[in-house]
Amino acid sequence: MRGLCYEKRMNPATITAKIRQTIPDAEVTLRDLTGGGDHWEATVISGAFAGRSLVEQHRLVFAALAEEMKGPIHALTLKTLSPSQP
């Protein structure tokens, strides 16, 4: 039995593409926090966030990465902004 070890590493291009499938205008900046491809810090800027609560914004991003959050991504630190926010 293999346990919870995931061999598939995530890379920034793949994560960005997954987010843009759900949020097409997203500007995504990523940083691998550990070098292992499983702990990420993301800043996502999108017009889709305008008028939405922070929780709603985060839910959009987490929905885009739902499958990856079950496996290759162990942790995601998230900052979301609309284009009009500083």
The 3-class secondary structure across the chain, one letter per residue, is: CCCCCCCCCCCHHHHHHHHHHHCCCCEEEEEECCCCCCEEEEEEECHHHCCCCHHHHHHHHHHHCHHHHCCCCCEEEEEEECCCCC
6 or 37, which is more confident? 37
Say which CATH number the domain at 62 has: 3.30.300.90
pLDDT at position 42: 98
Range of 38's domain?
12-81
Residue 9 banded pLDDT, cuts 50, 70, 90: confident
pLDDT higher than 90, residue 25: yes
Give the tens place of pLDDT for each residue, 43-65.
Answer: 999 999 999 999 999 999 999 99
What is the tally of structural domains in the chain?
1
Q: Evaluate whether residue 2 is within a structural domain.
A: no
Mean of all residue pLDDT scores within the chain: 91
